C-alpha cells in the first residue's frame, strides 16, 4: 500500500514509521519546514525510545520519506491518514477541528483518483461525516471513502503499542474502504491482534470513551489517596489490593499529582462538551476534570506545608518535568502548574529531567537546569519528585540529603517510602496517600 501521513507529530511520525516497517510505502507530510528538514537529515524531532533506529532503517530501505508537499504525497497514495493536532478550543473545551478540516480540504484538492481518507486524530463523533462533506464539496468528482482509525499508542512505549496493540479500531462505511484498511493492517491481522471494525461514529466514540475511562481510574485512586491520608491507610497497599481483582486490574491505579499529557486533559474536556451539546451530560467525566484540577492544587499545598507555609526564599529541587517518563512531551504536565506556583511564591527552582529540558526551558522560565539529580539537590530546602523516570528511582538518598540545606522530600510519585527517607537522614517526607513525617 502507498500511504500519505498528513501531520508528522507524535502520532503521525510513529504511525508512519511503523506502517513503513510493515512494508508499506509511506510519505510523511508536515507543514513545519524545520521538522521536515530535521527528519530529512535523519534526526527525530521528539524523544521516543526506539523510534530513531526504526526510522533510519525504513528510510534506508526506501519505504519512508518526508515532505512539505502534501499534494504530491496525496497523488501517489492509496490511503491518506490525517494525524494533525486536535487541541482544546479556547473558551468552550471543544476539540478544535480547524487543522483536521483544513487538511481534509487540501487532500481533496490534490487527489485525482480513488483514495481512502483515514482520520487518526482524536475527533468528536460526527467529524468523519463532516470530513466526507468537506471533501465532496472541495472536489465533487473525486471517488473516495472516509474511515476512522483512532490511535491508542502511549508516548514512551509508542512503537510497542503500535506493533503489538491491544486492538485496532477501524470505522468504515463501505466494503472497499474496509478492504484497504485490512490490507494496511494485514501484518497485525495475520498475528491475531484484534481488529474491531465498526461504523464511523462508534469508532470515534471508542477513543473518547477509552481515554475518559482511564482518566476516571487515575482520578478515582487520587481521590482515594486523599482519603487514605485522612484515615491512616496506605494507598499503595490499597491499589495493590484493588488491582489484583481481575475485574479492576492494576493499570492506571497509581496515585500521583494528577493526570496530564497531550490526551487526557483535552479528551476529557471534549467528551464533556460533546455530552453537553447532545443534552446527555457526561457527569462522571465532568467530575473527573474538576477533581484533577483540585489534585494539582493539593500538591501545591503539600509543598507549602513542607516549606513551613511559604516558598519565599526557599530553594526547591524538582526531579522530572515531563508529564510522564520516557517522553520529552510537556503538554499539560503537572510541572506546568507546580513549578510556576513555586517560582511565583518566591522559590528558586533547580530542575533536572533526562529529556525535558529542551521543551521545559521555554515553558518554565526563570529556573535553573541541571544534568544530574545530585547537582540539582545541592543547597536545596526541598526535593520534589514529580516524574518517575528510572533515573530517579534508585537515588543515593543519603548523598542527596547530605547535599541539601534542609533535607525535606515531596515524593509525588510514591517512589520511596517514609522509612527510606528517614534512614537517609531526611528531616521531613511526604508522598501521596500515605503517612509522612516531620510536617
Ligand atoms: N500524542 C499522543 O500520545 C496521542 C495518542 C493518541 C492519539 N493522539 C491524537 O492524535 C492527534 C495528533 O496528536 P500529536 O500528539 O501527534 O500532535 P502533534 O501536535 O505532535 O502533531 C501534529 C502535527 O501536524 C502538523 N500539521 C497540522 N496541520 C497540518 C497540515 N494541514 N498539513 C501537514 N501537517 C500539518 C503540525 O505541524 C504537527 O507537526 C491528536 O488528535 C491527538 O489527540 C495523540
CA distance 100 to 127: 9
CA dihedral over 242, 246, 252, 254, signed as positive or negative: positive
Residue 133 C-beta-side C-alpha neighbours within 13 Å: 6
- Give the Cβ contact number of residue 68 at 10 Å: 15
- Give the Cβ contact number of residue 153 at 10 Å: 19
pLDDT of 90 reads 86
Does ligand 1 come within 6 angstroms of the Cβ of 3?
Answer: no
- Please choose, from the candidates 337, 252, 353, 330, the residue with its C-alpha nearest in 3D space to the C-alpha of residue 302: 337
Does ligand 1 come within 6 angstroms of the Cβ of 9?
Answer: yes
Residue of 4, 5, 7, 108 to mutate, ligand 1, most atoms within 8 A of C-beta: 7
pLDDT of 220 reads 98
Is 263 assigned a catalytic role? yes
Beta bridge partners of 171: 148, 198
**Grid coordinates in use for 142?**
473525486
- Using left for φ > 0, alpha for ψ between -120 and 50, and beta otherwise, residue 166 falls in alpha
Residue with cell 491491544: 166
The residue whose CA is least distant from atom 20 of ligand 1 is: 9
CA distance 39 to 67: 9
Q: What residues have CB less than 8 Å from 88, skipping those under 6 apart? A: 94, 95, 96, 265, 266, 269, 270
- Please choose, from the candidates 117, 44, 119, 121, the residue with its C-alpha nearest in 3D space to the C-alpha of residue 85: 121
Residue-by-residue DSSP string for 18-66: HHHHTT-EEEEE-S-HHHHHHHHTT--SS--TTHHHHHHHHHHTTSEEE
Residue with cell 487543522: 99
Burial category of 14 from C-beta neighbours within 10 Å (exposed 0-12, middle 13-18, buried 19 and up): buried
pLDDT of 398 reads 98
Atom of ligand 1 nearest to the CA of 150: 7
Burial 183-220 (b: 16+ CB within 10 A, else e): ebbeebeeeeeebeeeebeebbbbbbebbbebbbbbbb
pLDDT of 91 reads 83
Does ligand 1 come within 6 angstroms of the Cβ of 86?
Answer: yes
Residue with cell 542527596: 400
pLDDT of 218 reads 98
Cα of 431 vs centre of ligand 1, distance in Å, is 35
pLDDT of 101 reads 98
Does ligand 1 come within 6 angstroms of the Cβ of 169?
Answer: no
Does ligand 1 come within 6 angstroms of the Cβ of 36?
Answer: no
Does ligand 1 come within 6 angstroms of the Cβ of 149?
Answer: no
Three-state secondary structure call for residue 260:
coil
- Please choose, from the candidates 403, 95, 416, the residue with its C-alpha nearest in 3D space to the C-alpha of residue 265: 95
The one catalytic residue among 28, 228, 263, 307: 263
374 and 403 in contact (C-beta within 8 Å)? yes
Cα of 31 vs centre of ligand 1, distance in Å, is 11
Atom of ligand 1 nearest to the CA of 154: 3
Atom of ligand 1 nearest to the CA of 329: 1
Cα of 275 vs centre of ligand 1, distance in Å, is 24
**Grid coordinates in use for 163?**
506493533
pTM of the full structure: 0.96
Per-residue pLDDT of the chain (439 residues; tens, 9 = 90+): 999 999 999 999 999 999 999 999 999 999 999 999 999 999 999 999 999 999 999 999 999 999 999 999 999 999 999 999 999 998 888 999 999 999 999 999 999 999 999 999 999 999 999 999 999 999 999 999 999 999 999 999 999 999 999 999 999 999 999 999 999 999 999 999 999 999 999 999 999 999 999 999 999 999 999 999 999 999 999 999 999 999 999 999 999 999 999 999 999 999 999 999 999 999 999 999 999 999 999 999 999 999 999 999 999 999 999 999 999 999 999 999 999 999 999 999 999 999 999 999 999 999 999 999 999 999 999 999 999 999 999 999 999 999 999 999 999 999 999 999 999 999 999 999 999 999 8
**Grid coordinates in use for 176?**
472497499
Amino acid at each position: 500500500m502507498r500511504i500519505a501521513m498528513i501531520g508528522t507529530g507524535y502520532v503521525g511520525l510513529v504511525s508512519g514509521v511503523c506502517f513503513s516497517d510493515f512494508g508499506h510505502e509511506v510519505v510523511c507530510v508536515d507543514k513545519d519546514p524545520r521538522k521536515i528538514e530535521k527528519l530529512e537529515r535523519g534526526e527525530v524531532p521528539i524523544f521516543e525510545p526506539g523510534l530513531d533506529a526504526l526510522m533510519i532503517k525504513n528510510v534506508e530501505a526506501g519505504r519512508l520519506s518526508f515532505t512539505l508537499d502534501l499534494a504530491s504525497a496525496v497523488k501517489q497514495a492509496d490511503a491518506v491518514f490525517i494525524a494533525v493536532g486536535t487541541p482544546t478550543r479556547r473558551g468552550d473545551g471543544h476539540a478544535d477541528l480547524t487543522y483536521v478540516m483544513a487538511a481534509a480540504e487540501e487532500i481533496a484538492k490534490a487527489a485525482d483518483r480513488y483514495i481512502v481518507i483515514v482520520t487518526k486524530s482524536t475527533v468528536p463523533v460526527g467529524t468523519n461525516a463532516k470530513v466526507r462533506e468537506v471533501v465532496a464539496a472541495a472536489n465533487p468528482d473525486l471517488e473516495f471513502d472516509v474511515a476512522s482509525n483512532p490511535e491508542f499508542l502511549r508516548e514512551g512505549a509508542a512503537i510497542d503499542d503500535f506493533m503489538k496493540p491491544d486492538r485496532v479500531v477501524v470505522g468504515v462505511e463501505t466494503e472497499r474502504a474496509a478492504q484497504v484498511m485490512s490490507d494496511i493492517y494485514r501484518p497485525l491481522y495475520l498475528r491475531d491482534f484484534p481488529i474491531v471494525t465498526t461504523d464511523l461514529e462508534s469508532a470515534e466514540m471508542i477513543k473518547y470513551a477509552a481515554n475518559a475511562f482511564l482518566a476516571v481510574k487515575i482520578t478515582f485512586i487520587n481521590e482515594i489517596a486523599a482519603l487514605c491520608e485522612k484515615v491512616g491507610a496506605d494507598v499503595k497497599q490499597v491499589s495493590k489490593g484493588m488491582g489484583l481483582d481481575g475485574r479492576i486490574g492494576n493499570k492506571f491505579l497509581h496515585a500521583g499529582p494528577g493526570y496530564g499529557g497531550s490526551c487526557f486533559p483535552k479528551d476529557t474536556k471534549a467528551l464533556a462538551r460533546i455530552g453537553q451539546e447532545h443534552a446527555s451530560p457526561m457527569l462522571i467525566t465532568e467530575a473527573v476534570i474538576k477533581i484533577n484540577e483540585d489534585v494539582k492544587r493539593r500538591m501545591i499545598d503539600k509543598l507549602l506545608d513542607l516549606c513551613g507555609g511559604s516558598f519565599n526564599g526557599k530553594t526547591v529541587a524538582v526531579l522530572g518535568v515531563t508529564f510522564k517518563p520516557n517522553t520529552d512531551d510537556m503538554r499539560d504536565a503537572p510541572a506546568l502548574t507546580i513549578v510556576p506556583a513555586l517560582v511565583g511564591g518566591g522559590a528558586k527552582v533547580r530542575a533536572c529531567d533526562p529529556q525535558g529540558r529542551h521543551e521545559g526551558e521555554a515553558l518554565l522560565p526563570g529556573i535553573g537546569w541541571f544534568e544530574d539529580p545530585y547537582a540539582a539537590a545541592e543547597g536545596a530546602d526541598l526535593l520534589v519528585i514529580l516524574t518517575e523516570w528510572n533515573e530517579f528511582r534508585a537515588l543515593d538518598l543519603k548523598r542527596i540529603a547530605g547535599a541539601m540545606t534542609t533535607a525535606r522530600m515531596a515524593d509525588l510519585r510514591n517512589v520511596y517510602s517514609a522509612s527510606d527517607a528517614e534512614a537517609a537522614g531526611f528531616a521531613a517526607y511526604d508522598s501521596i496517600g500515605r503517612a509522612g513525617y516531620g510536617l
